[in-house]
């Protein structure tokens, strides 16, 4: 049996979908639905049971859930603007520690979501060699909560028994519920439909022109393939970047959305809010040599083809992965 925490979320629900595609349905989905509408991500998916996250942890630690083979822990608060540090520590750090300790003590495969946000401004490179982790300085509390667990696992000497995946800018179907944390692809699509144009932040650095800030964008379908590679290859442990390995501009991304809709690009550049200028990332790019070195050989889809698929087959049809 496979447990997927955050299973009603963006990446978690996509993992459940692709497990179903390979006929795996012996799954427990764990999440905290509350008043959100991420429950829609679960419609059409097949799994044995759903548990709220606190109930799951209690039952797990009480020995009431036999037969678990793997925990894929995607559950977390992923809001990079969250200011409640205590909440992030409890939700992202302490909860993950308890799952990891239980998994290691019971010899259960544990795959968890770290984040590229741990790298901070990238001045120490986007290198997933765990020996470099101590140098990273996250720019927000979310990234720090993820960094705390990475460092705890390294110091506890259990990183060689678990897998941490540093996701870069993942986008695609099933992110509809994420509010301000939705990808720019979805936000730009909505802007375009409502106004006929897309707004991008101006550059406030002389070495970047407007819209030429770069990110490592990764389609959800590739992100899940990379994740499930570790499910099928339990001999591999440690920290790994999950990205495309290519940095593309915001202009590239938005132009691809217009192209997918057979429209000419119409981009307006606006001032970046002053409160985020000091910690805005102008460049991210995953070094995926480590992932490739362990045999991951799947071709990564191009940004243009990704956006074409997302826009035409999902956004235009209001579809989910289900």
Which pLDDT value is given to residue 275? Answer: 84
pTM listed for this prediction? 0.96
Which pLDDT value is given to residue 242? Answer: 98
| Residue 114 DSSP class | E
Q: Which residues are catalytic?
A: 142, 178
SS3 161: helix
Which pLDDT value is given to residue 139? Answer: 87
C-alpha–C-alpha distance, residues 88 and 86, integer Å: 5
Tell me how far CA of residue 183 lies from CA of 51, 168, 173, in angstroms: 27, 11, 10
Neighbours of 127 (CB within 10 A): 19
Cα–chain-centroid distance for residue 159?
20
Among 210, 187, 212, 91, smallest CA distance to 141 is for: 91
Which pLDDT value is given to residue 259? Answer: 98
Q: Give the H or E element holding residue 167.
A: strand 163-167
Q: Which residues pair with 214 in a beta bridge?
A: 249
Query: What does pLDDT average to in each consecutive run of 10 residues of the chain (322 residues)?
Result: 98 98 98 92 97 98 97 93 91 97 98 95 86 87 95 97 98 95 96 97 96 97 98 98 98 98 98 87 95 98 97 97 86
Domain ranges of the chain: 2-170+216-244+287-300, 176-214+247-282+309-315
Domain 2-170+216-244+287-300: top CATH class: alpha beta
C-alpha–C-alpha distance, residues 171 and 254, integer Å: 13
Residue range 176-214+247-282+309-315 in CATH 3.40.50: no
177 close to 41: Cβ distance less than 8 angstroms:
yes
């Amino acid at each position: 049996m496979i447990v997927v925490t955050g299973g009603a979320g963006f990446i978690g629900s996509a993992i459940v979908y692709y497990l179903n595609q390979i006929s795996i349905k012996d799954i427990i989905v764990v999440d905290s639905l509350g008043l959100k509408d991420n429950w829609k991500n679960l419609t059409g998916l097949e799994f044995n049971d759903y548990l709220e996250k606190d109930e799951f942890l209690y039952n797990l630690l009480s020995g009431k859930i036999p037969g678990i083979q793997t925990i894929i822990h995607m559950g977390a608060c992923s809001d990079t603007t969250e200011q409640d540090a205590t909440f992030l520590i409890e939700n992202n750090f302490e909860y993950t520690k308890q799952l990891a300790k239980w998994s290691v003590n019971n010899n259960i495969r544990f795959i968890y979501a770290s984040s590229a946000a741990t790298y901070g401004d990238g001045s120490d490179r986007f290198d997933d060699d765990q020996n470099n982790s101590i140098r990273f300085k996250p720019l927000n509390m979310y990234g720090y909560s993820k960094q705390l667990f990475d460092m705890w696992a390294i110091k506890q000497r259990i990183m060689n028994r678990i897998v941490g995946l540093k996701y870069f800018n993942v986008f695609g179907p099933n992110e509809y519920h994420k509010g301000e944390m939705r990808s720019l692809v979805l936000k730009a699509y909505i802007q375009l439909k409502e106004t006929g144009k897309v707004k991008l932040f101006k550059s406030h650095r002389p070495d970047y022109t407007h819209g030429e800030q770069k990110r490592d964008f990764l389609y959800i379908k590739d992100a899940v393939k990379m994740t499930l590679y570790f499910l099928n290859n339990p001999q591999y442990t440690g920290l790994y970047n999950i990205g495309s390995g290519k940095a593309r501009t915001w202009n590239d991304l938005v132009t691809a959305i217009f192209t997918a809709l057979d429209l000419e690009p119409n981009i307006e550049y606006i001032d970046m809010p002053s409160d985020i200028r000091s910690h805005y990332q102008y460049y991210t790019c995953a070094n995926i040599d480590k992932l490739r070195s362990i045999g991951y050989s799947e071709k990564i889809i191009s940004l243009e083809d990704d956006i074409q698929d997302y826009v035409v087959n999902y956004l235009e049809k209001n579809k989910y992965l289900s």
